Amino acid sequence: MSNEILKLKPEGIWKEFNGILGVPRPSKKEAKMVAYLEKWAKDHKVKYVKEECGNIIMTVPATKGMEDRQTVILQAHMDMVCEKNNDKKHDFEKDPIEPVIKGDWLHANGTTLGADDGIGVAAALAVIADPKVEHGPLECIFTVDEETGLTGAMKLDPKDFTGRTLLNLDSEDEGEIFIGCAGGMDTIIKVWYELEPAPEEATAYRITVSGLKGGHSGDDINKNLANANKLLTRILWQATTWFDLQLYDFQGGNLRNAIAREATAVAFIPNDCVKDFEHYVKDMEKHFKQEYQVTEPGLKVTVEVAEVQPDVVIDEMSQFNLLNGLYACPHGVIAMSQTIPNFVETSTNLASCKKKEGYFFIQTSQRSSIESSKQDIANMVEAVWSLADADVEHTDGYPGWAPNPNSAILDVAVNCYKKRFKKEPKVRAIHAGLECGLIGDKIPGMDMISFGPTLRGVHSPDERCEIPTVQMFWDFMCDILKNAPKAEAKKSAAKKTPAKKATAEKKAPAKKTKK
C-alpha cells in the first residue's frame, strides 16, 4: 500500500510521511527516528543541531526574495502513541506501520497510524525539500517524547534557535486554528495487595470489556465514550456482593492520555453460582449497550472460564480498596468553560490499571485551562484513593497556553485562510495539551498558532487521516510562510549604536522582573 500513498496529493508530504511510516518511534524510544532525521538533514545538506535529549533542530535559509521576513519555527513531535488491537501482532520497536487507504481516509492495519504527529514532521520536511515553497528563514524543531511526558519541549534549549514566531503542526481539525490549550498533570496510584489461597469449590472466570473506540483523553473526553476500566469495575463491584467474587487480576487501558478501550479481569466464582454469574454479565452487557448505543456500537462483554486456573487471589481488603477506588474515581468532563461556548474546561481520565508484583498501578491524568481547577481535580482523585488506603503521587505537570487574540501570526493565518478557501476559519482553544504551553512558558512573548489536517481516533487503532485535508493543510501552511511578517523590528535593532544597545540591555532586566 506504500506505493498507493505516493500517488496522493500533495506528493511532498506523502513522500515524507511514507518514509516516516517505516521508522519505529515509540515515545521515549525515538533513537531510530532521531537517526533518520539526522541522515535526512545530511542528505539534504541542511544544518541541524541534535540536543542532548534527542530533539532535532534544522536551520534553513530564506528563499530568494524572502530574506527580510521574520524567522518562523515549524514545530512537530517525532514520537507516536503505540496502540494495537489485541489480535494484531506488531512490535512497535521493530515493525513498520502498515498503511491502508479506505476512501478519503488513511488508516493503519490494526495499529495507530502515527499521523499524530508524523504528518506534522512530514510537512516540515516537505517544506525544506521543495524549492518552490517561498519562505523566510526557517527553524524546524522536532521534539521527542511529547506523548508520554512532553520531555522534548521541557528540555528544549532556547539557545539552539532564534525564532519567536511558531507554527505548531500538531492539531487535528482542518479549518480550525488553535491559540490556546489546557495544562495537565498525572496522578499515579498504587494499591498494595497480598496473596491468599484461591477458594475451594470455585472456578476462575475471565471477564473482558472490548470493542470500545477509546480516543484522546483531551480531544475526545466530551464525546460520551465508554471507559473500559469503569465498565469492568461496575461488573466486579456488584458481583463481589452478589456472588462472593474473589479477584485475581485486573488489567485495563494502556496509555495515560488515551481513554481505555479494553479491560479484562480474572476472578473466582463459587461453583454453585456460575450460571447465575454468566447471566449477570450478559445482562450487564445489555445495559452497557443501551447506555452507549450511539457512541459505542462495537461494545462487547465476554465471560468465559479462564484457561489457567490460578491457585491464589488477592486479599479481601485489597480487593475492597481497589474496586471501591476504581468505582469512585472520577472520569470524564468535570466542568465546561464559562467564557468559551462548548469548550471543556476541566476533565480527568482514569487511564489504566495494571497488576504488578505486590501492587496495582493506576494512572490517571487531569487537564484544565485554569491552573487552580487542574490542581483541584487532581486533589479530588487523591482524596478518593486516600480513602482506599492507596499511595498517591502527582507529577509536576505542564502549563497551559493562554490565548493571544492580538497575535500577528494569527492575523496572517486568518487572512490567508479566508483568501485561499473563501470562508472564515474557526479560532479557538483546545482541551488537549500542546507543546506550545511549555514553549511559551519557557520563552515569554513567543507568537504561536497551531493547525493541521483532520485526524480522527488518535491514540487508538482507529486513528485515521482525512486525505483531502492534507492538501488543504499544505496550501494553508505555504500561504502563511509566504506572507509571514517582515523582520522590521530586528532590522532597526541591528542599526542601533553601541550606546543605544547598552541602554536597551539595561532595560531588559526591568521587563523581566515586571513579568
- pLDDT score, position 198: 98
- pLDDT score, position 505: 37
- pLDDT score, position 232: 98
The enclosing H or E element of 349 equals strand 344-355
- pLDDT score, position 300: 98
Non-local (6+) Cβ contacts of 68 within 8 A are: 136, 486, 487, 491
- pLDDT score, position 451: 98
Can you tell me the distance from the alpha carbon of 81 to that of 424, in angstroms, rounded to the nearest whole number?
Answer: 32
Instruction: Give which of 97, 85, 89, 83 is closest to 1, Cα–Cα.
Output: 97
- pLDDT score, position 269: 98
- Name residues of the chain where pLDDT drops below 70: 1-2, 488-515
Bridge partners (DSSP) listed for residue 364? 187, 350
pLDDT tens digits for range 142-198: 999 999 889 999 999 999 999 999 999 999 999 999 999 999 999 999 999 999 999
- pLDDT score, position 404: 86
- Which of the residues are catalytic? 79, 146
What nine digits make up the cell of 291? Answer: 447506555
pLDDT tens digits for range 230-239: 999 999 999 9
Residue tagged 466542568 (cell numbers): 335
Please report, for residues 22, 188, 435, 436, 441, the alpha-carbon distance to residue 379 in angstroms, rounded to integers and kept in the order given: 42, 12, 24, 25, 24
What nine digits make up the cell of 340? Answer: 468559551
Can you tell me the distance from the alpha carbon of 458 to that of 42, in angstroms, rounded to the nearest whole number?
Answer: 32
Non-local (6+) Cβ contacts of 486 within 8 A are: 68, 69, 70
Instruction: Give which of 211, 382, 364, 373 is closest to 297, Cα–Cα.
Output: 211
Please report, for residues 228, 291, 350, 456, the alpha-carbon distance to residue 212 in angstroms, rounded to integers and kept in the order given: 7, 13, 15, 15
The neighbour count for residue 133, using CB atoms within 10 Å, is: 18
21 close to 33: Cβ distance less than 8 angstroms: no
Give backbone dihedrals phi and psi of 45, rounded to 5 degrees, phi first: 55, 45
- Strand ranges (E), 96-173: 99-102, 105-108, 138-143, 165-168
Length of the chain equals: 515
